[in-house]
Amino acid sequence: PALGEDSSFLQALRNIANRLRINSIKATTAAGSGYPTSCCSVAEIMSVLFFHTMKYRPEDPRSFNNDRFILSKGHAAPALYSMWVETGFLKESDLLSLCQVDSSLEGHPTPKQQFVDVTTGSLGQGLGVACGMAYTGKYFDKSSYRVYCLLGDGEMSEGSVWEAMSFASYYQLDNLVAIMDINRLGQSDPAPLQHHVEKEYIHKYLNCSCALNQPRHQPTAIIAKTIKGKGIPAAEDKLGWHAKALPKDMAEMVMKDLQSRITSSSKHLYPPSPIEDSPPVSLRNIRMPSAPSYKPGEKIATRKAYGMALAKLGRYNERVVVLDGDTNNLTCSEIFKNEHPNRFVECYIAQQNMVTVAMGCAARERNLVFASTLASFFTRAYDQIRMAAISESNINLCGSHCGLSTGEEGPSLMGLEDMAMFRALPRATIFYPSDGVSTEKAVELAATTKGVCYIRTSRQDNSIIYNSNEDFHVGQAKVVFQSKDDQVTVVAAGVIVHEALAAAEHLKKERISVRVIDPFTIKPLDIKTIIDHARVTRGRVLTVEDHYYEGGLGEAVSSAVVNESGFNLHRLAVSHIPRSGKPHELMKIYGIDRDAIAQAVRKMLSSSANAK
């Protein structure tokens, strides 16, 4: 029914809103933690969304035909849990376990709950995820489901929210509804615009229609003026109540008052059923149809091999989707774009939004997503990447132009921190391929590896060193150069493998033989292979990397051999903020080229000779 025509229906919605308040207060008071006033301002919005507007199957919250709901203001989690009590999916008694160490109801929503697609709580990220879901619904699934996102007004100060708004309007995501809970207050202070948001929001950024049921081709934004703490008389519209569970006696009083507003004879509401028009999708068993076609000695940059691999994977898998942020002719994702334009999403220069859109596209296993930009620019989206890891989101990110080998552009565009960033994330996988063959294998393996995968690619051409039938696995290193009396094990990845090989050839003329290991994945690191070979070279290991010292390959190796005795580990990495120049000049200046490697090997051997 249209709202307002059926008074018993309206009363039933009001009852749900007040029960949401009661349950949110009950849960947060029991936990001694949480944000009851932030829940109270969204009570009516959520009861209307969940029992009037959204179409979904309450017994199957993750059905791909359901409308989606993202609680961007994740700290109102108890309000969300209370709604799923109303639908019957959770038991009311579950709420009393909120935030307990053995409960699946955490302080902020997580995908441990089937009705949560991505973790929220770091504010400003939900709308970008919703954009990825809405883009998928409109352009890939071509289905009826709609996407609803609830935001706080304090959260609206995040630039990432406005990145998402621009994306939604540019792509005419008319299946997306953003509801802004304008409750005037943030945490320590009022939100900057308080209740006076229309002028600013509408004229500056938005061009949306504001009624739910009129035809349009634009996303919808609903500016809902609400009262923070509504229903808790002492806290209504007051500063100083954010993030405060009510004391027990106060909670009792408030709940009693709220209970008295609930009519007993009201009808039971059921959400409308979804339209079952989404296609089934399988992302299992995705693989390349054939081996790489590169020949040893041919030259190709790993960034280009990445683009070629994506295009090839996309030829055989309809659900491979590629995102980029106005760098597709740098990351080489344009090779995919040219071949599969309908599955390429231009996210423009908004990397934070790109990462959340990727998460939205990947949600409910609808797409196999790859997103690329320069390695350096992923640093600005680290919070989003961190939240993707917490969400156990299956997204693949590719950072090109890593390290000094970026050359002339100078340090602004050199990714020299990216390995540290991704290594710090639990369960992330880092591929750092060294040629075209291993890059194609990295793309194929990333496609089937769960969680956040990162592929680190480089700008300039390098020789193919692997045979096309070489088998690659996550966590399996390759020994690319060895002889029976090797004296030092050199561990190097990416472009530096080629420097290490050149150093090895050079040292051979001096009758010094070294072994070269290409780890292929930096995380997980094949420490067994490294240790086994290092033992053969009497514990002498040299790591070399096109990355800062902190958090890169050298630290990964040194922390892995911490318990080994008799190891002599040396590290070469970038220790200064670099400058512009030709890649080979920079690698020489900062001490990670073939000469530096040869010199370090000689030094290791002479100091161990002296020690004898």
Ligand X SMILES: *[C@@H]1O[C@H](CO)[C@@H](O)[C@H](O)[C@H]1NC(C)=O
Ligand Y SMILES: Cc1ncc(C[n+]2csc(CCOP(=O)(O)OP(=O)(O)O)c2C)c(N)n1
The contact set with ligand X (CB under 6 A) reads: 207, 329-330, 560, 562-563
- Between the alpha carbon of residue 345 and those of residues 41, 138, 362, the distances in Å are 36, 13, 13
Residue number with CB closer to ligand X (113 or 439): 439
For 560, the enclosing helix (H) or strand (E) is: helix 553-560
- The residue within the footprint of ligand Y, chosen from 26, 75, 533, 594 (CB under 6 A), is 75
Question: Considering the rule CB under 6 A, would residue 155 count as an interface residue with ligand Y?
Answer: yes
- Between the alpha carbon of residue 380 and those of residues 51, 114, 225, 421, 460, the distances in Å are 38, 30, 32, 11, 24
**Considering the complex, what minimum distance in angstroms separates the CB of residue 301 from ligand X?**
10
For 530, the enclosing helix (H) or strand (E) is: helix 527-536
- The residue within the footprint of ligand Y, chosen from 80, 85, 123, 573 (CB under 6 A), is 123
Q: Which does 123 bind (CB under 5 to 8 A by kind): ligand Y, ligand X, none?
A: ligand Y
In this structure, the strands spanning 453-456 and 429-431 are parallel
Q: Which does 185 bind (CB under 5 to 8 A by kind): ligand Y, ligand X, none?
A: ligand Y
Q: Which does 219 bind (CB under 5 to 8 A by kind): ligand Y, ligand X, none?
A: none
Q: Which does 138 bind (CB under 5 to 8 A by kind): ligand Y, ligand X, none?
A: none
DSSP codes, 176-215: EEEEEEE-SB-SSSB-TTTT--HIIIIIHT------TTS-
Question: Considering the rule CB under 6 A, would residue 186 count as an interface residue with ligand Y?
Answer: yes
Kindly report the backbone phi and psi dihedral angles of residue 367, in degrees, each rounded to the nearest multiple of 5, phi listed first: -145, 155
Residues 437, 596: Cα–Cα separation, whole Å: 27
461 phi-psi bin (left φ>0, alpha ψ -120 to 50, beta other): beta
**Considering the complex, what minimum distance in angstroms separates the CB of residue 202 from ligand X?**
10
Question: Considering the rule CB under 6 A, would residue 152 count as an interface residue with ligand Y?
Answer: yes
Q: Which does 497 bind (CB under 5 to 8 A by kind): ligand Y, ligand X, none?
A: none
Q: Quick one: 238 exposed, middle or buried, by C-beta within 10 A (0-12, 13-18, 19+)?
A: middle
Residues 310, 299: Cα–Cα separation, whole Å: 18
- The residue within the footprint of ligand Y, chosen from 109, 154, 403, 554 (CB under 6 A), is 154
Binding-site size for ligand Y (CB under 6 A) equals 21
Q: Which of residues 454-483 bind ligand Y (CB under 6 A)?
A: none
Residues 194, 166: Cα–Cα separation, whole Å: 23
Q: Which does 103 bind (CB under 5 to 8 A by kind): ligand Y, ligand X, none?
A: none
Residue number with CB closer to ligand X (290 or 565): 565
- The residue within the footprint of ligand Y, chosen from 183, 317, 327, 429 (CB under 6 A), is 183
Helices then strands (H, E): number in the chain? Answer: 21, 18
- The residue within the footprint of ligand Y, chosen from 122, 379, 468, 608 (CB under 6 A), is 122
Question: Considering the rule CB under 6 A, would residue 375 count as an interface residue with ligand Y?
Answer: no
**Among the listed residues 46, 112, 106, 37, the one whose alpha carbon sits nearest the alpha carbon of residue 82:** 46
Please list, in sequence order, all residues whose beta carbon lies within 8 angstroms of the beta carbon of residue 95, skipping any fewer than 6 positions away: 23, 26, 27, 30, 78, 81, 82, 85, 105
Whether 456 and 417 have beta carbons less than 8 Å apart is answered as no
Single out the segment in contact with ligand Y by CB under 6 A; choices: 146-154, 315-323, 348-356, 430-438. 146-154
Q: Which residue is nearest to ligand Y (CB)?
A: 152
Question: Considering the rule CB under 6 A, would residue 149 count as an interface residue with ligand Y?
Answer: no
Q: Quick one: 573 exposed, middle or buried, by C-beta within 10 A (0-12, 13-18, 19+)?
A: buried
Residue number with CB closer to ligand Y (123 or 507): 123
**Considering the complex, what minimum distance in angstroms separates the CB of residue 373 from ligand Y?**
21
Q: How far is CA 381 from the centre of its chain?
A: 8
Residue number with CB closer to ligand X (100 or 329): 329
Tokens of 30: 């029991």
**Considering the complex, what minimum distance in angstroms separates the CB of residue 74 from ligand Y?**
7
**Considering the complex, what minimum distance in angstroms separates the CB of residue 219 from ligand X?**
12
**Considering the complex, what minimum distance in angstroms separates the CB of residue 108 from ligand Y?**
8
- Strands, DSSP E only, in 519-584? 521-523, 540-548, 568-574
**Considering the complex, what minimum distance in angstroms separates the CB of residue 400 from ligand X?**
10
- The residue within the footprint of ligand Y, chosen from 44, 117, 163, 181 (CB under 6 A), is 181
Please list, in sequence order, all residues whose beta carbon lies within 8 angstroms of the beta carbon of residue 214, skipping any fewer than 6 positions away: none
Tokens of 13: 């919605």
Single out the segment in contact with ligand Y by CB under 6 A; choices: 122-130, 345-353, 464-472, 473-481. 122-130
**Among the listed residues 295, 294, 299, 304, the one whose alpha carbon sits nearest the alpha carbon of residue 458:** 304
**Considering the complex, what minimum distance in angstroms separates the CB of residue 121 from ligand Y?**
6
Tokens of 487: 């004296």
**Considering the complex, what minimum distance in angstroms separates the CB of residue 379 from ligand X?**
22
**Considering the complex, what minimum distance in angstroms separates the CB of residue 386 from ligand Y?**
11
**Considering the complex, what minimum distance in angstroms separates the CB of residue 35 from ligand Y?**
6
351, 354, 355, 361: CA torsion to nearest 10: 180
Q: Which of residues 204-243 bind ligand Y (CB under 6 A)?
A: 228, 242
Residue number with CB closer to ligand X (563 or 565): 563
Single out the segment in contact with ligand Y by CB under 6 A; choices: 121-129, 337-345, 350-358, 424-432. 121-129
Tokens of 248: 């027990």
Whether 38 and 76 have beta carbons less than 8 Å apart is answered as yes
Question: Considering the rule CB under 6 A, would residue 191 count as an interface residue with ligand Y?
Answer: yes
- The residue within the footprint of ligand Y, chosen from 34, 121, 314, 360 (CB under 6 A), is 121
Question: Considering the rule CB under 6 A, would residue 41 count as an interface residue with ligand Y?
Answer: yes
SS3 526: coil
Chain residues that interact with ligand Y, rule: CB under 6 A: 35, 38, 41, 73, 75, 121-124, 152-155, 181, 183, 185-187, 191, 228, 242
